[in-house]
Structure 1
Amino acid sequence: MEHHVVIEKLCSCAKKEGLSQISTYGDKPSALEAARTQLSYMQGRFCGKHEFELVEVDNHYVIGMVSGCGCGAES
Structure 2
Amino acid sequence: MAEMERNEPKRRLISDAKELAKIRKITQAQMAEEMGVPHRTLEEWLQFRRMPKAPGTTLLQRWVDAHQGRTT
Query: Which category of TM-score, normalised to the shorter sequence, fits these structures?
Result: 0.3 to 0.5
Structure (1 or 2) with the greater strand fraction: 1
More helix by share: 2
TM-score normalised by structure 1 residue count? 0.32
